Amino acid sequence: METVQDRMEAGDILVIDGGMGTELERRGVPMDAQSWAGSALKNHPDMIRTIHRDFIDAGADILIANTYAAAPHVLCHAGISESEALALNRLACDLVREAVAEAAPDRRIWIAGSLSSFFAGLSTDGWPSKDEAARSYALQAETLAAAGCDLLITEMMLDTTVSPLAVRAATATGLPVWVGFSVRTANGRIVGLNGRDDIAFERIRDDCLGAGDVHAAGIMHSEMSDTPPGLDLLKEAWSGPLFAYPHSGSFRMPNWQFDDEIEPDAFAREAATYLDRGVIAIGGCCGMSQHHIAALAQRLGRGLGS
């Protein structure tokens, strides 16, 4: 069976989906004060399946399961036990699989499980210890692998403490692992998106890339203006496949702020320029709807649902 790595090595440009959490919010699903979109797995699974279908119809080749904020160390703060958290991670993968079966049974679409640096409430009270994070990520990664994911994406790698633990847990499964870094500009230099410290991106990059066998690396959960310089710094230490997954808007826990949201056609034009930097997989994170992904797919000559 063709793998996502086969497609990338063949030089094909792959389309990743858009932002699940912000689509849930846009469609009226309440965001949890501790686990943001993670708890929606428990209360709104049908809406999650519908959004996956919409991204399939828009032309996405890779769908990311709604596990970004569903690690056990996050969901426990929302009153969800470890065993239920792992069951919800399995459900997240099932929802993607069901959406593919319903919307595109004859297309090859890959399912990505997500591990992230997200922590409960985005407050210091929700920051896990290294031991807690390592155990939680290991359990989540093993669950996602057993649930049939084709690859794992470590999202929003933005520090040198917890982020490498997520990469290590993901690579231990033996699945292909894509590492997604999140960056911002501070005092004229590119640093991790982490708001507590201005950690040089190069440090985060090197720690995460050195944490295991990585198959692709990219810039995600970052402003479109910060994505190109982030990609340039990433390429200084990484010669493998590149991907990009920028966001649009801003976040005030627990809600995304749809302020100054980029229009779909403008997003597609800008995202297509990332190809000149060697990017071979592109999608859109928070704030990016199925309309943004459809515009991107058309811009790349893919057309809707192709």
Is the pLDDT at 10 greater than 60? The verdict is yes
Measure the CA–CA gap between 81 and 270, rounded to whole angstroms.
42
Q: Is the pLDDT at 2 greater than 50, yes or no?
A: yes
Q: Please tell me the predicted confidence (pLDDT) of residue 304.
A: 46
User: The whole model's pTM is what?
Assistant: 0.97
Looking at residue 297, what is its pLDDT? 97
pLDDT tens, 126-162?
A: 899 999 999 999 999 999 999 999 999 999 999 999 9
Res 197: pLDDT: 86
- State yes or no: cis peptide before 254, omega within 30 of 0: yes
pLDDT at position 306: 41
- The pLDDT value given to residue 259: 86
What pLDDT sits at residue 288? 98
Q: pLDDT at residue 28 above 70?
A: yes
Q: Render pLDDT for 171-181 as a digit per residue (tens, 0 to 9).
A: 999 999 999 99
When pLDDT is averaged across residues 177-202 and rounded to a whole number, the result is 94
pLDDT, averaged across the chain: 96
pLDDT at position 302? 72
pLDDT at position 11 is 85
